[in-house]
Structure 1
Amino acid sequence: MIVHELSVAMNMIEMAESACVEQGYSRVEAVSIRVGRASGIMRDALVFAFDCAKAGTLAADARLDIEDVPVGGACNDCHAEFSVEEAFVFNCPACGGKSFQITSGQELHIVELEVDS
């Protein structure tokens, strides 16, 4: 749903602008983020929303750099640690067990801002 991604994009831009102003910079050139595949964020929708939301802001010409984070988990049955590219995990890829903990892939973090004075 694009409304969710638009809200996320607007919050990212607001945070980037706030950091820019606090540090005395005049423009955001890039926002780098880490997005987990199981975060519920649709990458294409987020890029579109970011491009729409940045107009008229200090990030008007900024690019959005996205690092995809695969889903990682730890099996409670065989104790294997695993990483998968799919957004949804239904069983341990090593033993087929259905008891596991998700350890990564649900995050959404701003990791870096590129700014210009």
Structure 2
Amino acid sequence: MHEMSICESILGVLKDQAREQKFDRVKRVCVEIGPFSGVEIEALKFGFNVVMRGSIAEDAILDIIETPAKAWCFSCGKDIVIEQRYDACPDCGSHQLQVTGGEELRIKQLEVN
């Protein structure tokens, strides 16, 4: 389960930011996750609670923003929302799409003391 290592990386970022910005407690972590990121959200929630124990983010709330998968259609030139990587363009039916969003996994916002 690579979600545990993702949570450990998040904790590393939190510690680095705490040193840089001089805070000692994290109350909320807001994370953006795209459907193509390969992250299982329930596993991430579980891992977050486990990894944050005894840290500056113990008892922090994990807010997850699920972003849509987006693509650009080579045929009609439109930006579209897709469900799966190999979907057809809903406007023209073309399969010539360039994925432009949905792979993200990033910390969007922190609430700290």
Same fold per TM (> 0.5)? yes
Which of the residues 87, 92, 108 maps onto 1:90? 87
Identity %: 35
Provide the secondary structure at the position in 2 that maps to 1:96: coil
Shift of 1:37: 1.1
Asked whether 1:102 is paired with 2:99, we answer yes
Q: How many residues align?
A: 113
In the superposition, relative to structure 1, how do residues 20 and 87 fare at CA in structure 2: closer, same or farther (>3 Å)? farther
**Structure 2 residue 71 is the aligned partner of structure 1 residue 79:** no
1:56 to 54, 63, 75: 54
Instruction: Go from structure 1 to structure 2 and tell me whether the alpha carbon gap of 1:14 and 1:87 turns closer, same or farther (over 3 Å shift).
Output: farther
- Offset from partner CA, 1:65-92 (integer Å, 9 cap, x none): 11111000111112121013x2444321
> Cα deviation per residue 1:76-109 (whole Å; 9 max; x = unaligned)?
112121013x244432122221111011111111
Name stretches of at least 5 consecutive residues in structure 2 with no aligned partner. none
Q: Deviations over 1:18-76 (max 9, x none)?
A: 21132221111111111111111111111111111101110011111111110001111
2:31 is equivalent to residue 38 of structure 1: no
Contact 1:17–1:59 (8 Å) recurs in 2: no
In the other structure, the counterpart of 1:28 is 26
Q: Any stretches of 5+ residues in structure 1 without a counterpart?
A: none
| TM-score, normalised with respect to structure 1 | 0.89
